[in-house]
A and B are shown apart, each in its own frame.
Chain A
Amino acid sequence: LAKTTQPISMDSYEGQEVNITCSHNNIATNDYITWYQQFPSQGPRFIIQGYKTKVTNEVASLFIPADRKSSTLSLPRVSLSDTAVYYCLVADKDSNYQLIWGAGTKLIIKP
């Protein structure tokens, strides 16, 4: 199974840039890397997806090095409302490319 490893929790302060790194040593050649955000009592919400180098949208940036064995989600100038659990996902080609969900990173933003 393609699996990911990310920190269990992180703290930061309002206005700071937050970087969450995820390792995925066994990522397959055709796999994309996808990040979701989940607030308590809500379903996950898609943040960003990438294959290589850098992807940026209105919410975040995703940095993927050439070997693709890790990726970093960057959240610019976080606010209290960014407190959530963040999941890094890769597809598992052995199960029809279903996404494998780990426990995620619980990000707490302090004032």
Chain B
Amino acid sequence: NAGVTQTPKFQVLKTGQSMTLQCAQDMNHNSMYWYRQDPGMGLRLIYYSASEGTTDKGEVPNGYNVSRLNKREFSLRLESAAPSQTSVYFCASSEALVGIEAFFGQGTRLTVV
């Protein structure tokens, strides 16, 4: 039972390059999330998807785009990476949007040089 799987686990990008972070969950959850976590800080919500076919901005959406490909998969795209986007990115899923336990992936450590 994999839970939430993120790929890749590590990535180094040059400024201006683009990439897509992949996330898949096998728990049949409706809601999925992308967070970033900077050193010594809590998580900040980038985008979320309440259900298949919907996406909404979170606290820090600038510089990112997302796609809810189907119920299982939610991808995060950086179109033109900047050093300020160096962070650890976490994908999460939950049965519903409000007041429900969320399950997190292991994270993607992204460095933009």
Please list the residues of chain A having a beta carbon within 8 angstroms of any beta carbon in chain B. 31-32, 34, 41-46, 49, 87, 91, 95-99, 101-104
Q: How many A-B residue pairs have CB under 8 A?
A: 51
Bound Cα distance from A87 to B106, whole angstroms: 17
Size range of the interface on B?
Answer: 20 to 34
CB contacts (< 8 Å) of A43 on chain B: these are: 4, 90, 92, 104-107
Indicate if the CB atoms of B58 and A44 lie closer than 8 Å: no
Bound Cα distance from A102 to B41, whole angstroms: 7
Q: In the complex, which residue of chain A has the Cβ closest to the Cβ of B98?
A: A97
Q: A87-B42, A104-B42 are in contact. Are A95 and B99 (CB under 8 A)?
A: no
CB contacts (< 8 Å) of B56 on chain A: these are: 96
Indicate if the CB atoms of B98 and A103 lie closer than 8 Å: no
Indicate if the CB atoms of A42 and B106 lie closer than 8 Å: yes
Chain B, interface SS category: loop
Bound Cα distance from A87 to B42, whole angstroms: 8
CB contacts (< 8 Å) of A34 on chain B: these are: 99, 101
Indicate if the CB atoms of A102 and B99 lie closer than 8 Å: no
Least CB distance, A74 to chain B, in whole angstroms: 19
29 example contacts (A-B, Cβ-Cβ < 8 A) are as follows A31-B99, A32-B99, A34-B101, A41-B106, A41-B107, A42-B107, A43-B4, A43-B90, A43-B92, A43-B106, A44-B43, A44-B90, A44-B102, A44-B104, A45-B104, A49-B99, A91-B98, A95-B58, A96-B50, A96-B56, A96-B97, A97-B97, A97-B98, A97-B99, A98-B45, A98-B59, A99-B45, A99-B102, A101-B43
CB contacts (< 8 Å) of B44 on chain A: these are: 101
**B48 at interface (Cβ–Cβ under 8 A)?**
yes
Bound Cα distance from A91 to B90, whole angstroms: 19
CB contacts (< 8 Å) of A87 on chain B: these are: 42
Indicate if the CB atoms of A102 and B98 lie closer than 8 Å: no
Indicate if the CB atoms of B101 and A103 lie closer than 8 Å: no
Q: A98-B58, A102-B42 are in contact. Are A46 and B102 (CB under 8 A)?
A: yes
Bound Cα distance from A42 to B43, whole angstroms: 12
Least CB distance, B109 to chain A, in whole angstroms: 8
